Amino acid sequence: MVPRKSFVSKEREGFFFLSAQDRIGGSRMARYNFRAVEKKWQEIWENEQIFRTSSDFSKPKYYALVEFPYPSGEGLHVGHPRPYTALDVLARKRRMEGFNVLFPMGWDAFGLPTENFAIQTKIHPAVITERNINRFRQQLQSLGFSFDWSREVNTTDPNYFKWTQWIFLKLFEKGLAYKKEMPINWCPRCKIGLANEEVVDGACERCGHEVETRVKNQWMLRITAYAERLINDLEMVDYIERVKVQQRNWIGRSEGAEVLFKIKDTEENLTVFTTRPDTLFGATYMVISPEHPVLQKLRDRITNMPEIEAYQEQARKKSEFERAQLVREKTGVRVEGLSAINPATNAEIPIWASDYVLMTYGTGAIMAVPGHDERDWEFAKKFGLPIVEVVAGGDVEKEAYTDTEKGTMVNSGFLNGLDVPTAKKKITAWLQERGLGVPKVNYKLRDWVFSRQRYWGEPIPLVYCEKCGWVPVPESELPVRLPQVANYEPTDTGESPLAKIRHWVETTCPKCGGYAERETDTMPQWAGSSWYFLRYCDPHNDQELASREALEYWLPVDWYNGGMEHTTLHLLYSRFWHKFLYDLGIVPTPEPYAKRTSHGMILGENNEKMSKSRGNVVNPDEVVEEYGADTLRLYEMFIGDFEKAVPWSTEGVKGCKRFLDRVWKMMDMVIPGAEYRPELEAKVHQTIKKVSQDYENLKFNTAIAALMTLVNEVYRLESINEAEMKTVLLLLNPVAPHITEEIWEKLGFEGMLNEQRWPVWDEAKTVEQTVEIGVQVNGKLRATITVNLDDPQEAAREKALSAEAVKRALDGKTIVKEVYVPGRIYNIVVK
């Protein structure tokens, strides 16, 4: 086997230092030396830039995307390669199918762990980041992924975050970024404000400390303005159902009406949001949130203000966690001196304040219909408030009747006798005519808290001027870089460490030239990842975030795979930014990702989540060292259902190594032949079909199983011809790219394997002519017979009836019916 000419020198240069044992043997018989083989091909791929994305925009394109990692100090763990290998398989297959493939990788490198490490060690976060990235890159490269490394992006690179800042300024310009005094989730340990999404069970997602409520002046992004489109446009994308469901859930659209209640003897109104306007006649009291502004506005009329203030204080002290976790014992206080008028009944009804009504949803006030809402019912029972039945069908003295399908309206004037949906329409129209209400859609989704009081993030590119207010830094001055500092500690007041760097903070107003101060908050980690897939399209552009031409060609991302944990955060945020950029005419598609799938976690061998503290972490470096990258890749794909969590198994890894060794040894079985042999033809076509389809459907485990079956068959035959061998190598190549290239070369096949075309199957040839089918008597299997597919039923029948076990089962019975499904089953029904 003479290596192709161009590789000769490389081998000599790259491998002369390897021990004789490590060197690739000259004979076919040599043991498979994965270390040498993998190193060899990784160098060839890199030196010849095999996986460099072409800039030939006339070719059909395919954009495969995996979530870029946060380069932590711990390095890669075996969970990372699972999605990367999966999409690497797809990317490699697409190239062989003739596509120009964009399969990039980068670093989501701003973030807390690095900053915390910097505080500890006094090493600059940028230095730590670079070190971590180098390690990650080296690890990823050792796995042989076909990333186009020339397009690597790094969110902490000023040439990158220049455009993150630029997008922020556009949001600011369009009124979608605004500063607001608002209660935020505050983590006392991290000393940082958290987005709702970063609070898990009332605790900080990062450190686990219980979260408190604090009022802070925060930059907000108006994602709620896109709520409707973020829900509706899910219909135009191909996301796995659980992702769509979670997004819909999170956005939480609900349709109803806003209704105006007059506060008696004042000019004030209370507006409520309700999804059940039909029950208006049953609204016997109102509840407002303890933070509701009307309590301040009308404080002079309220006769029990001290009591209310005490309650407000109590509510404030409760963290979100307590408010959610405490047993649902309702608390509240009556607002004495105020009462409201039910616009339907004109009855005077009391107003209560209770923390079960949230200021952050709807209007912060509700109409309470205890007969038909569980929470209101509970509250009414506790405080002795009247319960009126307005939808017949249950027993409102026993529990709230919330069925909206079966009930009939009662005690509701002109609504009586109607069903609930009709009543909703009628009352809403009635309210609207009188100016007392409007149809309204509400969302649970909140605006995005975009400020972090931290150092290691993108500076928000705004300055504050006493005269001009908030003024954007001119585009020509972007990026606003982080100042060099010695100390990254957050302040106890919750201000960013940047606030102490006076020479950085103090600046001049771009508008009036007067004194101004920079915003010292930085952006959250979600900022850089909200648009990184755009940058990959044109990563070195210093004129715009990416050229229109590149975006037109590459977008949308054809296939994006990532973790379920990013469904409500990153995925939603990046869809929001993308839609915003679409509205500006910068990106050509309304949605960024045409298809989204998700992988399951890899657990430790003990079936628990892999973590340092549990001591069950498997390091991919060690697996590569001991078994090789191809084995690791193969195992990660074979380990189980791609979409489900699965425990690691060292024995399983060995099994995959064994398979690759068997493939290697097939080299000794190769015989000449340009066509599949008759005895293997159907099997080969079946395997091509199975593997091709399974790769597309993330069924890597069964694709590999099919290849194993074929290899087992080859071992049984003790030979494989060249045509068959080529097909096996082609099909296996995306999963195990190094060994297959090496075998291809050693067998002297034309060119490099990765340049070949993906094999095609002939549907007609996937069908075996002679098949073994089961013979059932009354649905019970009694025998198997071998029949020719073309045989008439009569021939099959004869074979079926002559089988001993069948004869026995038929003995003394009468045949009433026979079902023959060619290639499947022969079932005889007897009495």
**What residues between 456 and 475 interact with RNA by CB under 7 A?**
none
* C-beta of 35 vs 330, nearer to RNA: 330
Question: Between vectors from CA 775 to CA 769 and to CA 781, what angle results, nearest 5°?
Answer: 130
Q: Which residues contact 55 (CB under 8 A, 6 or more apart)?
A: none
State the nearest-atom distance from the C-beta of 760 to RNA, in Å.
21
* C-beta of 539 vs 734, nearer to RNA: 734
* C-beta of 116 vs 331, nearer to RNA: 331
* C-beta of 487 vs 607, nearer to RNA: 607
| Residue 274, Cβ density class (10 Å: 0-12 exposed, 13-18 middle, ≥19 buried) | buried
- x/- contact string, 591-630, with RNA (CB under 7 A)? ----------------------------------------
Among 122, 757, 817, 831, binds RNA (CB under 7 A): 817
Nearest to 143 by CA among 7, 68, 34: 34
Residue 781 as a binder of RNA (CB under 7 A): the answer is yes
Nearest to 727 by CA among 763, 755, 761, 699: 761
| Residue 755, Cβ density class (10 Å: 0-12 exposed, 13-18 middle, ≥19 buried) | exposed
CB 170: neighbour CB atoms within 10 A?
Answer: 19
Query: What part of residues 565-584 is at the interface with RNA (CB under 7 A)?
Result: 568
Among 212, 336, 661, 768, binds RNA (CB under 7 A): 661
Respond yes or no on whether the N-terminal peptide bond of residue 479 is cis (omega within 30° of 0). Answer: yes
Q: Return the structure tokens found at 290.
A: 């303890």
Measured in whole angstroms, how far is the alpha carbon of residue 217 from the centre of its chain?
A: 30
Among 189, 209, 548, 658, binds RNA (CB under 7 A): 658
Counting residues that bind RNA (by CB under 7 A) gives 89
- x/- contact string, 488-527, with RNA (CB under 7 A)? ----------------------------------------
Query: What part of residues 702-741 is at the interface with RNA (CB under 7 A)?
Result: 702, 704-705, 708-709, 712, 715-716
Residue 646 as a binder of RNA (CB under 7 A): the answer is yes
Nearest to 648 by CA among 609, 599, 677: 609
d(CA 779, CA 829): 8
Q: Which stretch, 32-40, 676-684, 750-758, 820-828, contacts RNA (CB under 7 A)?
A: 820-828
What does the DSSP assignment read for 147-191?
A: --GGG-EETTSHHHHHHHHHHHHHHHHTT-EEEEEEEEEEETTTT
Query: What part of residues 250-309 is at the interface with RNA (CB under 7 A)?
Result: 250, 252, 254, 256, 273-276, 289
State the nearest-atom distance from the C-beta of 397 to RNA, in Å.
20
Among 475, 772, 802, 813, binds RNA (CB under 7 A): 772
State the nearest-atom distance from the C-beta of 100 to RNA, in Å.
31
State the nearest-atom distance from the C-beta of 169 to RNA, in Å.
31
Residue 829 as a binder of RNA (CB under 7 A): the answer is yes
* C-beta of 328 vs 757, nearer to RNA: 328
Contact call for residues 668 and 776 (beta carbons, < 8 A): no
* C-beta of 266 vs 606, nearer to RNA: 606
Query: What part of residues 117-156 is at the interface with RNA (CB under 7 A)?
Result: none
What does the DSSP assignment read for 367-428?
A: EE-TTT-HHHHHHHHHHT------EETB-TTTS----SSS-EE-S-GGGTT-BHHHHHHHHH
DSSP-H helix ranges across 501-617? 502-505, 532-535, 548-554, 570-583
Contact call for residues 650 and 604 (beta carbons, < 8 A): no
β-pairing verdict for 825-830 and 770-777: parallel
The SS3 assignment for 490 reads coil
Query: What part of residues 415-454 is at the interface with RNA (CB under 7 A)?
Result: 442, 444
Residue 794 as a binder of RNA (CB under 7 A): the answer is no
Contact call for residues 350 and 380 (beta carbons, < 8 A): no
* C-beta of 37 vs 656, nearer to RNA: 656
* C-beta of 122 vs 328, nearer to RNA: 328
Query: What part of residues 356-385 is at the interface with RNA (CB under 7 A)?
Result: 356-358, 360-362, 364, 366, 373, 375, 378
State the nearest-atom distance from the C-beta of 229 to RNA, in Å.
19
Among 70, 659, 695, 761, binds RNA (CB under 7 A): 659
Residue 88 as a binder of RNA (CB under 7 A): the answer is no
* C-beta of 181 vs 329, nearer to RNA: 329
* C-beta of 30 vs 819, nearer to RNA: 819
Measured in whole angstroms, how far is the alpha carbon of residue 165 from the centre of its chain?
A: 24
Residue 217 as a binder of RNA (CB under 7 A): the answer is no
Distances (CA, A) of 794 to 85, 769, 800, 801, 820: 51, 17, 10, 10, 10
d(CA 797, CA 820): 8
State the nearest-atom distance from the C-beta of 515 to RNA, in Å.
42
Query: What part of residues 186-205 is at the interface with RNA (CB under 7 A)?
Result: 196, 200
N- to C-terminal Cα distance for the chain? 69
Among 128, 534, 551, 656, binds RNA (CB under 7 A): 656
- x/- contact string, 317-356, with RNA (CB under 7 A)? ------xx-x-x-x------------------------xx
State the nearest-atom distance from the C-beta of 400 to RNA, in Å.
11
Among 337, 604, 647, 673, binds RNA (CB under 7 A): 647
Query: What part of residues 17-76 is at the interface with RNA (CB under 7 A)?
Result: none
Contact call for residues 115 and 482 (beta carbons, < 8 A): no
* C-beta of 501 vs 809, nearer to RNA: 809
Residue length of the chain: 831
Q: Given phi > 0 = left and psi -120 to 50 = alpha, else beta, which region is 518?
A: beta
State the nearest-atom distance from the C-beta of 355 to RNA, in Å.
6
Among 1, 8, 805, 815, binds RNA (CB under 7 A): 805
* C-beta of 59 vs 180, nearer to RNA: 180
Residue 801 as a binder of RNA (CB under 7 A): the answer is no
Give, for 451, the enclosing helix (H) or strand (E). none
* C-beta of 258 vs 458, nearer to RNA: 258
In the chain, the amino acid numbered 286 is: M
Nearest to 775 by CA among 728, 722, 829: 829
Among 655, 752, 756, 765, binds RNA (CB under 7 A): 655
Among 49, 138, 217, 249, binds RNA (CB under 7 A): 249
Contact call for residues 627 and 657 (beta carbons, < 8 A): yes
CB 794: neighbour CB atoms within 10 A?
Answer: 9
Residue position matching structure tokens 């590459």: 554
State the nearest-atom distance from the C-beta of 204 to RNA, in Å.
14
- x/- contact string, 662-701, with RNA (CB under 7 A)? x--x---------------------------------x-x
State the nearest-atom distance from the C-beta of 569 to RNA, in Å.
9
Among 230, 351, 473, 809, binds RNA (CB under 7 A): 809
Q: Which residues contact 138 (CB under 8 A, 6 or more apart)?
A: none
344-350-356-357 Cα dihedral, nearest 10 degrees: 50
Residue 564 as a binder of RNA (CB under 7 A): the answer is yes
